[in-house]
Amino acid sequence: MKRGTSRDIRTANRYEVLRQIIAESPTSRQELAATTGLSLATVATLVGELLDLRMITEVGFEESAGGRPRGLVAVNAAGGALIGVDIAETYVHVELFDLGLNVLARADEELRPGENRPEHVVARVADAVGAVVARAGDGDGAGAGDERVLGVGVSMPGQLDRDAGTTEYASNWDWHDVPLRELLAERVPYPLYLDNPLRAGAVAELWFGAARGRGDAVVVTLGTGVGAGLVLGGGLHRGVSNSAGEWGHTTLVLDGRPCICGNRGCVEAYVGAPGIMQHLRETSPDSPLLRPGDQTATIGALGRAVAAGDPVAVEVVRRTARCLGAAIADLVNLLNPEVIVLSSWVAAALGEPLLAEVRGAVAERALRRPLAATAIVLSPIPTDPVSLGAATFALEGALESVGQRTPRRPVPLKSRTA
């Protein structure tokens, strides 16, 4: 049985203190105690650990009224680098971050149709990771010589066994039991942290976005596939076998549209990008908005058209929002969260018009009491939340290692790129 232990609490508190420092640097131990609700003694200990790890640094003093000057700490942006890898159906997107989670370098690799065997994907990831490390190492002024890659977080769609580091099943490429971490480790010489995009998106919101400071939040990922990253009790809810969040494969219409999972009537079949294209075909079969075979172009065109008030686009967004609103009302009624965040590229493309229709549809269907407690918002994260979240898994991994074992010896960027 999972039970909160002192060690879990300590790790959670360490996350919380670092989160606050990242959000507001410089800051004092006293301010941190006030914001987090932890005792000053606890904060002092945790700050000491983060200083030892060189994740934060002392940056001077502020005067306090009548008392001793207070020491200030700030993120030591140059104290380490984190890499986030977003593996998607048609591309691999990689970002390298400093410890303030600012992007220092990006790289993209295309996955051409047919290039979806594990060795293809691993090669593209290794190329892109090599590219961001090289770029950051050649960088100007980011203190490159001082940087260290603390870890690489990898987001891979589908069902993952995190302990084994294997993709148990990925429907997009029909992968079964692929030892992804092992394959990656042959090409990527940094500590690796695997998880899926639902959880990467959720942890990004929890650390840096609309779920910060919320106990219960749901991050709804709207892309080709759809799903829900669950933040419950202030932390990620993974479920007993790390499979929680498959909201895309819950039933919206019993015996409805066929779904890629083999079932019928799943939420994803109505609100995933292919499902939205089907709403468009049903609304206006000859619409010029429809780019057959190209989800990204179609959803992009739909987003521009709805913003311009195009009646077909408005109707398609309304149909989509009706289904999405019913499925989000299910999350409101079942989980009673504080906030539901709409994330990923479809949410970004359809934006405010989708949000407004969804809010209306949820209000029609959710129960009054949980509805009143729930805000529905678009993700405020301006960059790719999945690579940010993946990098955050690497940051969490580095924080978790404190006191557990000797921290892994970081690999200096210079020597890798030499």
Phi, psi of 224 (to 5 degrees): -60, -50
Query: Interface with a second copy by CB under 8 A: which range of 240-248, 285-293, 310-318, 402-410?
Result: 240-248
- Rule CB under 8 A: say whether 169 interacts with a second copy: yes
With a CB cutoff of 8 Å and minimum separation 6, the contacts of 10 are: none
Query: Interface with a second copy by CB under 8 A: which range of 8-16, 84-92, 306-314, 348-356?
Result: 8-16
Instruction: Give the C-alpha separation, 390 to 119, whole Å.
Output: 21
Q: Which of 30, 90, 116, 263 binds a second copy (CB under 8 A)?
A: 263
- Rule CB under 8 A: say whether 6 interacts with a second copy: yes
Q: Which of 330, 357, 384, 396 binds a second copy (CB under 8 A)?
A: 330
Q: Which of 261, 377, 378, 402 binds a second copy (CB under 8 A)?
A: 261
- Rule CB under 8 A: say whether 256 interacts with a second copy: yes
| Burial group, residue 302, by CB count within 10 angstroms (0-12, 13-18, 19+) | buried
Give the DSSP letter string of 98-141: ETT--EEEEEEEE--TT--SHHHHHHHHHHHHHHHHHHHHT-SS
Q: Is 225 helix (H, G, I), strand (E, B) or coil?
A: coil
Q: Which is nearer to a second copy, 124 or 199 (CB)?
A: 199
- Rule CB under 8 A: say whether 25 interacts with a second copy: no
Query: Interface with a second copy by CB under 8 A: which range of 290-298, 367-375, 390-398, 405-413?
Result: 367-375
CA distances from 131 to 125, 185, 211, 377 (A): 10, 17, 32, 35
Kindly write out the interface string for residues 279-308 of this chain, putting x where it contacts a second copy by CB under 8 A and - elsewhere. ------------------------------
For residue 37 the two structure tokens come to 């609700």
Rounded least distance, CB 238 to a second copy, Å: 7
Q: Which is nearer to a second copy, 211 or 289 (CB)?
A: 211
Query: Interface with a second copy by CB under 8 A: which range of 61-69, 70-78, 183-191, 321-329?
Result: 321-329
- Rule CB under 8 A: say whether 401 interacts with a second copy: no
- Rule CB under 8 A: say whether 172 interacts with a second copy: no
By CB under 8 A, the residues from 369 to 398 that bind a second copy are 369-370, 372-374
| Burial group, residue 286, by CB count within 10 angstroms (0-12, 13-18, 19+) | exposed
- Rule CB under 8 A: say whether 174 interacts with a second copy: no
Residue 235: half-sphere exposure toward Cβ, Cα within 13 Å: 14
- Rule CB under 8 A: say whether 168 interacts with a second copy: yes
Q: Which amino acid is at 397?
A: G
Q: Which is nearer to a second copy, 172 or 383 (CB)?
A: 172
Closest CA to 384 of 92, 54, 136: 92
Q: Is 254 helix (H, G, I), strand (E, B) or coil?
A: coil
Q: Which of 41, 241, 304, 311 binds a second copy (CB under 8 A)?
A: 241
Q: Which amino acid is at 32?
A: L
- Rule CB under 8 A: say whether 278 interacts with a second copy: no
Instruction: Give the C-alpha separation, 84 to 92, whole Å.
Output: 11
- Rule CB under 8 A: say whether 214 interacts with a second copy: yes
- Rule CB under 8 A: say whether 202 interacts with a second copy: no
Instruction: Give the C-alpha separation, 89 to 127, whole Å.
Output: 17
- Rule CB under 8 A: say whether 164 interacts with a second copy: no
Closest CA to 206 of 79, 385, 73, 355: 385
- Rule CB under 8 A: say whether 213 interacts with a second copy: yes
Sites of contact with a second copy (CB under 8 A): 1-6, 8-9, 12-13, 16, 37, 159, 168-169, 213-216, 228, 230, 232-235, 237-247, 249-254, 256, 261, 263, 323, 326-327, 329-330, 333-338, 364-365, 367-370, 372-374
